[in-house]
Amino acid sequence: MSDTIESGDKVEVQWKGTKFSGMFISKDEKVTVIKLQNGYNLSLENSSIGSISLLSKFVQRKFSEEKVTGEGKRVFVLGTGGTIASYVDYETGAVKPAETPQEMLHAQPDLAKIASIGTEIILNILSEDMQKADWINIAKKVYERISERDGVVITHGTDVLSFTSSALSFLIENPKAPIVFTASQRSPDRPSSDAFFNLKGAVRVAQSDVGQVCVVMHSSTSDDALDIHSGVRLRKMHSSRRDAFKSINSEPIGRVDRDLRIQWRKYEKINEKPMKLYDKLSEKVGLLYFYPGLSEELFEKFAQVNDGLILAGTGLGHITNRFASRVKEYTSQGKIIGMTTQCLYGAVDLEVYTTGRNLLEAGVIPLHDMLPEVAYTKLSFLLGNFDVDTARNLLDKNLRGEISERRTE
Ligand code: GLU
């Protein structure tokens, strides 16, 4: 390889008799990585490379402060951090988190081909550091943008993505433009990165007529399609695979193919009802995963500091019978206690066993097939914005598609 080839340059590579042209990203002792025009990174073993020639030198892209005029409907990309926020700095070859909108787009020049893109970096954190105040801040920024009828894409870390998508689902009622989350399991410098396809698919969904918060991520380990999940129905089910996200107790609401065509299943369209932003989340709501050996003392402390408790119980929705009288004490003080299942799949049913019936009798509210994190963000939303009786009454009602109307099992 010529010494003059640097990260960002356009090159042509002869590999096993085939020619590939793209942007040179990096070379180590084993592989050379180039980014193809479709955004995918191609990793070629050095031993099979015949030659690499320089087509043109990298020219630093100049972005206006916020917007890139592209073809297609306007989409605003709001960055909050996570792996997807990292980009390859072609000048140094380093991978670093994007700190400015220009840097964010620098890694994704192809986006301008499908949309007119605006960007803003609201946060630059790992998602495990998210706080409820961050969810409110994100909701306010999203609300501002969708009031202008721009679709919004929020880039986020994968770890607590389902909490944030759920919080936004409740905080913004009847969105007037799509609100689409996306993330990546592998950083953009890695040949197997899912960042580019996920982001492009999310931008495409943000140009549609979807009127519910959704999340766009790889549907399999290959790059053939993306699933569109409802923001209140998904869970990260694998720590590292690119298809880590699955819709639970419901089907994905749609799919994006390789050519960025969308096939919808059942989804909520933007409607004419007034859009509303709620800007509070109660800090006095907790989520507790019950386990054998959980002490009464710990349970008590947890219940005392909160006004609302979501329990992730075992099986059909159980915790030890030893806590039943405590539970009754708390519900008679006005605290709200909702039951979900740590099984994730299926619904709670407190009528089947004595344990469940005791909990029902103690005032526990069964939350059907709602996921624990969804119940947690929902109760935080309800206690933050409504009086306690309304909150109690709405907790087990389906507000945003978080509870199946009809269950087959
Ligand atoms: N754990 C971090 C997060 O969730 C980084 C990994 C990722 O983006 O998925 O933000």
DSSP letter for each residue of 383-399: HHHS-HHHHHHHHTS-S
What separation in Å is there between the alpha carbon of 105 and the centre of ligand 1?
Answer: 20
- Contact status, residue 253 vs residue 218, Cβ threshold 8 Å: no
Catalytic residue among 89, 159, 223, 396: 159
* pLDDT reported for residue 68: 61
For the chain, give every residue range classified as CATH 2.30.30.520.
10-56
Fold entry, domain 285-394 = Rossmann fold (3.40.50)
CATH of domain 74-277: 3.40.50.1170
Tens digits of residue pLDDT in 148-191: 888 999 999 999 999 999 999 999 999 999 999 999 998 877 77
**Mean pLDDT value across residues 6-15:** 87
In Å, what is the CA distance from 335 to each residue of 89, 148, 218, 291, 342?
A: 51, 40, 40, 22, 22
Tens digits of residue pLDDT in 97-129: 777 666 666 667 778 788 988 888 899 899 999
CATH number assigned to the domain with residue range 10-56, chosen from the 4 options 1.10.3720.10, 3.40.1410.10, 3.20.20.70, 2.30.30.520? 2.30.30.520
Judge residue 308's burial from the number of C-beta atoms within 10 Å of its C-beta, 0-12 exposed, 13-18 middle, 19 or more buried.
Answer: buried
29 close to ligand 1 (CB < 6 Angstrom): no
Tens digits of residue pLDDT in 212-237: 999 999 999 988 999 999 999 999 99
Tens digits of residue pLDDT in 67-94: 566 778 899 999 998 888 877 665 555 6
What separation in Å is there between the alpha carbon of 82 and the centre of ligand 1?
Answer: 4
For the chain, give every residue range classified as CATH 3.40.50.40.
285-394
- Residue 27 CB-half CA count within 13 A: 18
For 359, the 3-state DSSP assignment is helix
- Contact status, residue 343 vs residue 376, Cβ threshold 8 Å: no
